Amino acid sequence: MAAEISSSDERLRQLFKIGNRFMVLLFRLGLGGWGNGPRTSQVMVLVHRGRKSGLLRRTPVNYAVVEDVIYCAAAFGSRADWYRNILADPRVEIWLPDGWYAGEAEEVSPDDPQRDALVRQVLIASGFAAPLFAGVNPKTIDDEKLAQLSAPYRLIRIYPSEACTGPGGPGDLAWVWPAATFVLLALLLCGSRRKTTRS
């Protein structure tokens, strides 16, 4: 039974990885706010440094804002690469739908009396993701069941600092839109000329 759960869990992680690439691409194209919100699923991109490679990594995560502090959770627990990376180097960047910020991350202790309430806020902000992947309604699940469900989770607190600017942030591929528009107009113009010449 444990092997079946592990196999199913691994398939879910692979699905998340595919979805993550798509979400990062949306942010890079300047579409991070598209469909992003509490009614659908509140997502940010967490930029962190690989603990072994030293390279910057981008991971979309659900998040909640509580008293100007950002909270997110590693649903796969300590196996999540991004979680292990920020333990090694807590300096992160966060791409929100309305801005790009530097920040400092820290893990919320499992013994923190506010932990379960904060996890609930992250799950609520995840919109459809919690019912779809965790099989629960975070607004109605009782505290005891929520504590059991989220025991393996790792809750992260991020304190945003200064706003970031320059290359390498969200929207760095937004140039694709005018370029694509130019190419499309050129193709339409060429097609129109060919029709005129034939007639």
Mean pLDDT of the residues in the chain: 86
- Residue 13, pLDDT > 90, answer no
Task: Report d(CA 198, CA 185) in Å as an integer.
Answer: 20
Domain count, the chain: 1
Q: How high is the pLDDT of residue 95?
A: 96
Percent of the chain with pLDDT over 70: 85
Parent domain of 80: 2-171
Query: Is residue 97 included in any domain, yes or no?
Result: yes
3-state secondary structure of 143: helix
Q: How high is the pLDDT of residue 8?
A: 63
Query: Is residue 103 included in any domain, yes or no?
Result: yes
Exposed e or buried b for every residue in 44-64, given b needs 16+ CB within 10 A?
A: bbbbbbeeeeeeeebbbbbbb
3-state secondary structure of 175: coil
Contacts of 196 (CB under 8 A, 6+ apart): none
Query: Is residue 199 included in any domain, yes or no?
Result: no
Task: Looking at 29-160, list the stretches that DSSP marks H as alpha helix, in order from N- to C-terminal side.
Answer: 81-88, 115-125, 129, 143-150
Query: Is residue 192 included in any domain, yes or no?
Result: no
Contact (Cβ atoms closer than 8 angstroms) between residue 36 and residue 42? yes
Contact (Cβ atoms closer than 8 angstroms) between residue 58 and residue 92? no
Whole-angstrom CA distances from 179 to 24, 137, 182, 186 are 20, 43, 5, 11
Q: How high is the pLDDT of residue 180?
A: 67
Query: Is residue 72 included in any domain, yes or no?
Result: yes
**pLDDT tens, 58-88?**
999 999 999 999 999 998 889 899 999 999 9
Lowest mean pLDDT among 15-24, 69-78, 121-130: 15-24
Over residues 108-135, mean pLDDT: 91
Query: Is residue 146 included in any domain, yes or no?
Result: yes
Task: Report d(CA 152, CA 37) in Å as an integer.
Answer: 26
Query: Is residue 186 included in any domain, yes or no?
Result: no
- Residue 170, pLDDT > 50, answer yes
Query: Is residue 194 included in any domain, yes or no?
Result: no
What is the CATH number for 160?
2.30.110.10
Q: How high is the pLDDT of residue 179?
A: 67
At 193, the pLDDT band (50, 70, 90 cuts) reads low
Q: How high is the pLDDT of residue 3?
A: 37
